[in-house]
Amino acid sequence: MKRLKAGEGKYIGADGYEYKGFEIINHGYYAPDKCVWWEAVDMKTGCADFHAHTKREIKNLIDEDELKTLNKPSKMKKLT
């Protein structure tokens, strides 16, 4: 059995991975762009939020977005 590295995500079969609430899918080679495409689908909403050429790149995009949302100040007013 293959051990996962820290932050690698969970293999869910057939070119798919689960990573921080996203399903990362390999769509394979796309001839017009002459490259491989990966897509991250939010498992809660079903929306494809990220697209990238490598799995590493798409995981970095997810991590960057997570940091932005954590550091974003809340727009709700404080209740007193």
Higher model confidence: residue 68 or residue 13? 68
Query: What is the bridge-based pairing of β-strands 22-30 and 16-19?
Result: antiparallel
Domain boundaries, the chain: 10-71
4 pLDDT above the threshold of 50: no
Q: How far is Cα 5 from Cα 2, in angstroms, rounded to an integer? A: 10
pTM above 0.85, yes or no: no
- Say what the pLDDT of residue 60 is: 94
Strand runs (DSSP E) across 1-80, as ranges? 10-11, 16-19, 22-30, 35-42, 48-52
Q: What is the pLDDT of residues 10-64, one digit of tens each?
A: 767 666 889 999 999 998 898 988 999 999 999 999 999 999 999 999 999 999 9
